[in-house]
Amino acid sequence: MSQDPLIDTPVLERVLGAALAKGGDMAEVFAEDRQTSGAVLDDRRIEELSSGRERGAGIRVVVGETTGFAHTADLSESGLLAAAEAASAVAREGGGGVRTVALDARRPVDARARILPSSVAKATKLELLSRADDTARSTGDAISQVQAGYGDSRRRILIANSEGLLAEDDQVRTRLSVVCVASGDAGMQTGHESVARTEGYEIFERVDVDEVARVAANRALSKLLARPAPSGEVPVVLAGGSGGILFHEACGHGLEADHIVKDASVYVGQVGEQVASPLVTLVDDGTVTGEWGNFTVDDEGRPAARNVLIDKGVLTDYMWDWLRSRKEGRASSGNGRRQSYQHLPMVRMTNTFLLAGEEDPDEIVAQTPNGVYVAKLGGGQVNTATGDFVFGTMEAYLIENGRITEPLRDANLIGNGPEVLRRIDALAHDFDMTPGTCGKDGQSVPVGCGQPTLRITGVTIGGTAA
């Protein structure tokens, strides 16, 4: 059953016309209605249930190289017209006059969730948290604290622009996370695990909450006995899944066209060049159903797409939004995203992953005489202009004589994107994805990262051991 639009088409057409009254190349209305609910269990208590709702519209007017933007929580025609007036203030040259905008026919969408989280009783959601708490605490006596969080969101969006585009999406996301503290003689350690999907409550038919809790608990417990990570350059084997953060940082951000057009990326002018080991085929794909960075249309109304960025080591393309693709006279690649109606869109990743290879993951470890095995990566950060990036371990072990041995305390690894991409010399046939939150220029959006188990011949690890 489709719902009424957030804003009726005749109103949108009048507002877009008004936004261009002083001139301008393009006007756009982005409307959003977001509802969230969440719960936190901490210190054995359900501490907080929260609910929130936010609705509003952001209006932008593009005049040459300049973008004017305003937003409002008032979705009435008068509220929208006021925002259109404010956004159009950047159009100073005049040359406007009466502009008629005719939008495409509406194509309503349904929420892509089999079980809408809003239809599930709050008490049922809380049971997940209690179960996670019990399981985590029973995993080991040293587990001294557990925090379990549940959250869901439903985000209805509508995008209309003066080129006639009219698009809608109805995005439902559901997540569960567990953070454990383990206490021992050498102090405390933390373990974290989460599941997050662009799906409804049906994810809990497949997600084993006990397993999520056990993974988080074991991650904390194993680090109690961990020794300091080494320092210096070492071979690193990244387990399939969270290691995808490496590619998100090492090259993903550097392939975003907003950095490219400003000459602020090491990958400028590299299309067609060998930028990585021939083993590397990197894809950004917003269409992967259910993954954390999945959607039907992006926040500029462009359908999600599968874009090959690096093919067998050769750079094939960058990622594009409306503004940056216009300059190049090409189409957007479906990577225009924004945190909310209060933000301007920019080029963002969706689900970014490395395609699997052919080797056996255990064999890759066995053929690594000495090094570090990273079972779980945390976050990372990159300077796109220099290519230098870091990524942090959340679960890592020494590799000695081809075997995974002692656990290591958390540390960051540091490398240079183009250098590290060339040093990938083994790729396994396994594959996994992991959800994350990507921050850029003050905006956060959900993304997915993925890769198979792989080896880097050398990367600098920042431990405290000499």
Tokens of 59: 């209006």
Interaction between residue 320 and another protein (CB under 8 A)? no
Interaction of residue 461 with another protein, rule CB under 8 A = yes
Q: Which of 27, 39, 216, 246 binds another protein (CB under 8 A)?
A: 39
How far is it, in rounded angstroms, from Cα 188 to Cα 308?
A: 43
Task: Return the residues of window 404-423 that contact another protein according to CB under 8 A.
Answer: 409-416
Identify residues 219-238 at the interface with another protein (CB under 8 A): 223, 229, 231-233
Residue (of 288, 280, 292, 197) closest to 246 by Cα position: 280
- Least distance to another protein, CB of residue 305, Å: 25
Query: Is residue 48 close enough to count as binding another protein by CB under 8 A?
Result: yes
Tell me how far apart the alpha carbons of residues 8 and 234 are, in angstroms, rounded to a whole number: 59
Q: CA distances (Å), 152 to each of 157, 216, 294, 365, in order? A: 16, 21, 15, 38
- Contact 353/449 with Cβ under 8 angstroms? yes
- Reference 149, options 122, 173, 175; nearest CA is 175
Residue 50 found at the interface with another protein (CB under 8 A) = yes
Candidates 342, 368, 434, 451: give the one binding another protein (CB under 8 A): 342
Comparing CB distances to another protein, the nearer of 348 and 361 is 348
Least distance CB 15 / another protein (angstroms): 16
Contact status: 457 vs another protein (CB under 8 A): no
3-class secondary structure, 296: coil
Neighbours of 341 (CB within 10 A): 23
Spell out the residues 6+ positions from residue 78 whose beta carbon is closer than 8 angstroms to its own. Answer: none
Nearer to another protein, 102 or 465 (CB): 465
Q: What are phi and psi of 199, to 5 degrees?
A: -150, 175
For position 348 contacting another protein by CB under 8 A, the verdict is no
Side chain identity, residue 195: V
Q: Which of residues 58-117 bind another protein (CB under 8 A)?
A: 64-73, 83, 86, 89-90
Contact 350, 380 (CB under 8 A): no
Min dist CB 71 to another protein, Å, is 5
Q: Of 11 and 414, which has the nearer Cβ to another protein?
A: 414
Enumerate residues 270-289 that contact another protein by CB under 8 A.
none
Instruction: Decide: is 381 part of the binding site for another protein (CB under 8 A).
Output: yes
Could you give the CA distance from residue 452 to residue 362 in angstroms, rounded to a whole number? Answer: 12
Stretch that binds another protein, among 20-28, 49-57, 101-109, 398-406 (CB under 8 A): 49-57
Residue with Cβ nearer another protein (92 or 429)? 92
Tell me how far, at minimum, the Cβ of 338 lies from another protein, in Å: 12
Query: Residue 176 in contact with residue 207, Cβ under 8 Å?
Result: yes
